[in-house]
Amino acid sequence: MTSLTIGLLLILGLVVVVLLGMHIAVALLATGFIGIWILRDNIDLAFRLLGMASYNGIADYLFATIPLFVLMGILVSISNVGRDTFEVAEALLRKLLGGLGVATVAANAVFAAVTGVSIASAAVFTRVAVPEMGRHGYRLPFAAGIVAGSSVLGMLIPPSLLLIIYGVLAEVSIGAMFLAGIIPGLLLSFGFVALIMLLARFRPSFVYTDVEAARVRQSEAGDEKTLSWGEILKKLVPIVALVTLILGGLYSGFFTPTEAGGVGAFGALLIALMRRQLDRPRMWQVLYQTGLVSVAILVLLIAAGYYSRMLSIAGIPNAIAMLVQDSGLGPYGFLLIYVVIVLLMGMILDSTSILLIMVPISAPIALSLGFDLIHFGIITVIAVEIGLLTPPFGISVFTVHTALADPKTKVEQVFMGTLPFVLVMALSLLLIAAFPILSTALI
pLDDT in tens, the chain (443 residues): 677 788 778 888 887 887 787 887 888 889 889 988 988 888 898 899 888 888 776 777 777 888 888 888 788 878 877 778 888 887 777 777 788 888 889 888 887 777 666 776 777 778 878 888 887 788 888 888 898 888 888 788 877 888 988 998 898 988 889 889 989 999 999 999 999 999 988 888 888 876 665 565 555 555 555 677 788 888 888 888 888 888 788 777 788 888 888 888 898 898 888 888 888 888 999 899 888 888 887 888 888 888 888 888 888 777 777 777 677 777 888 899 899 888 888 777 778 878 888 898 889 889 988 899 999 999 999 998 887 788 766 777 877 887 776 677 788 888 888 899 999 999 999 999 999 999 998 87
Look up residue 75 and give its DSSP letter.
Answer: H
Rounded Cα distance, 232 and 226, in Å: 10
Cβ neighbours, 10 Å, residue 277: 15
Q: What is the pTM of this model?
A: 0.83
- Nearest Cα neighbor of 143 from 387, 423, 427, 406 is 406
What is the crossing angle of helices 65-78 and 81-93, to 10°? 60
Give pLDDT, residue 222: 53
What gap in Å lies between CA 293 and CA 68, rounded to an integer?
11
Q: Measure the CA–CA gap between 200 and 195, rounded to whole angstroms.
A: 9
Distance of CA 285 to the CA centre of its chain: 24
Q: How far, in Å, CA of 242 to CA of 260, rounded?
A: 10
276 in helix, strand or coil?
Answer: coil
Nearest CA to 66 among 57, 58, 77? 58
Cα–Cα distance for residue pair 379/184, rounded to 1 Å: 10
CB distance 27 to 353 below 8 Å: no
